[in-house]
Amino acid sequence: MKSVSRVILLLAAAAFLTALTSSCDRPETSRTGFSPVATDTMRMAALRQAAIQGGLRRAAALEIPTDPERVAVGRLIFESRAMSINGEISCRDCHLDKFGSADGLPNAIGVGGEGEGRERMESDGRILPRNALPFWGRGGKGFDTFFWDGKVQKKDDVVASQYGEHSPSDDPLVVAVHLPSVELREMVEDTIEIRETVVSEDVGAANTIQSELAKRFASDTDIGPLLGSAYDRDASKISFAEIADALAQFIRHEFRLRPTRLERFVFDRGPITEAELAGGVLFYGRGRCVSCHNGPYFSDLDFHAVAFPQAGFGKNGFGIDEGRYNVTLDPRDRFLFRTAPLHNVTQTAPYSHSGSITSLKDAIIAHFDPLRLVDTNSMDVRQRSDLYARLGPAALEPLPTALRDEEVDQLVAFLAMLEFSSDGN
């Protein structure tokens, strides 16, 4: 705590000096950096220290090694529509490279959907209640909480999930990749036959679907032999455990974090623009972003309330999503969601658990001025009462107070420092 307050003091001092000198002519900014005056040098030092204190690590330090053969077969499974028991949909249909490994849609569109991004909205696909999540860093060291409501979470060495005591793995990513293939509307068509034999939360039914999928992949002429060789067993002995492991290895490798401009600035004295520097000082200082967006993934992997507008019918129906409460049934968890990790966040619009926000700027504004983003007069009384209910818990959070538009722009510039591309930047 002591060192955190020291950093906040340093940042406050830096902000004060900026205010004093802000009437001076500022050097021209550019993507490649700017020529700092003395106070900027101090702000840069403060930002470097705050970022390290806030949990920034080099991407390479977070990597968990994978096996290339398993990654390669995992990629084929990820892209195969055979992964869906009756719905002709693959993981790739909702987790696309061009949308930063999400789908570019507010609410994901599952079985029956066709095309990519907006095109899917024209098709007859089943709509899911939540925004698809991107994968950056999901397989890295210490990333142990999955989905918007943390329905898969490793704590004290135990993975909690709908599998209860029969967790299929002690690796939470492996458990997480078990779920989509048995989720109704996502990869399973919601028909009467399926309803009668399968309920998505029922582990026995899930096992039936998954052993069928495993048989399918084992007898696939391309994938079967590759699985057999990657897991060193006869293809006929392949079970869903190997399928899930291969999917997890693929995600872990493909979406591992790479060095960002922030990493280069902090650890290698790389360049920074004036707007990025101002945004960084806000992120770790007065903007209070670091109180939740901390650690190597810019998320405390814990649950908080931000009164984002709600879009779509919501996990709990009638346009309501009670978030973490769905997992714990503890009333104190109503409307809490996992703090969003922020790598490549510039590429994963729309934002929030229901994808209700299209711009990064508005996603930040939602934290301190959510009413600016909704037209309360055009809402019906039910929607308004849901909004009041969500404003309550948000008011208890350490959220930033009023930030000016120009400051929000600076925060956007800072968040762009967390970009990287899979081929190294």
φ and ψ of 198, to 5 deg:
-135, 130
User: Which of 53, 75, 44, 43 is closest to 6 using CA atoms?
Assistant: 53
Question: Cα angle at 336 between 291 and 5, to 5 degrees?
Answer: 10
122: left (phi over 0), alpha (psi -120 to 50) or beta: alpha
Residue pair 350/337 in contact by the 8 Å Cβ criterion: no
Our CA dihedral for 349, 353, 355, 361, rounded to 10 degrees, sits at: -50
Query: Which residue of 324, 337, 343, 413 would you call a contact of ligand HEC, by CB under 6 A?
Result: 337
Closer CB to ligand HEC, 273 or 348, in the complex:
348
Query: Which residue of 7, 11, 73, 177 would you call a contact of ligand HEC, by CB under 6 A?
Result: 177
| Contact flag: residue 66 with ligand HEC (CB under 6 A) | no
User: Which of 307, 303, 309 is closest to 338 using CA atoms?
Assistant: 303
Residue pair 338/145 in contact by the 8 Å Cβ criterion: yes
Closer CB to ligand HEC, 11 or 94, in the complex:
94
DSSP 82: G
Stretch binding ligand HEC (CB under 6 A), from 48-56, 160-168, 257-265, 283-291: 283-291
Subset of 406-425 contacting ligand HEC (CB under 6 A): 411
Q: Give the helix ranges, DSSP H, for 255-324.
A: 261-268, 274-284
- Integer Cα distance of 350 and 187 in angstroms: 22
| Contact flag: residue 130 with ligand HEC (CB under 6 A) | yes
| Contact flag: residue 186 with ligand HEC (CB under 6 A) | yes
What's the min distance (Å) between Cβ of 263 and ligand HEC? 18
| Contact flag: residue 83 with ligand HEC (CB under 6 A) | yes
What's the min distance (Å) between Cβ of 28 and ligand HEC? 26
DSSP 181: G
| Contact flag: residue 132 with ligand HEC (CB under 6 A) | yes
What's the min distance (Å) between Cβ of 230 and ligand HEC? 17
| Contact flag: residue 397 with ligand HEC (CB under 6 A) | yes
| Contact flag: residue 161 with ligand HEC (CB under 6 A) | no
The angle that helices 203-219 and 223-230 make with each other, rounded to 10 degrees, is 100
- Integer Cα distance of 253 and 241 in angstroms: 18
Stretch binding ligand HEC (CB under 6 A), from 30-38, 163-171, 233-241, 282-290: 282-290
| Contact flag: residue 240 with ligand HEC (CB under 6 A) | no
| Contact flag: residue 297 with ligand HEC (CB under 6 A) | no
Closer CB to ligand HEC, 56 or 132, in the complex:
132
| Contact flag: residue 10 with ligand HEC (CB under 6 A) | no
Q: Which secondary-structure segment (H or E) carries 73?
A: helix 68-78
- Integer Cα distance of 242 and 222 in angstroms: 16
| Contact flag: residue 399 with ligand HEC (CB under 6 A) | yes
Binding site for ligand HEC (CB under 6 A): 83, 89, 91, 93-95, 108, 110, 128, 130, 132-133, 138, 146-148, 176-177, 180-181, 186-187, 247, 287-289, 291-293, 304, 306, 308, 337, 339-340, 345, 348, 351-353, 360, 363-364, 367, 397-400, 411
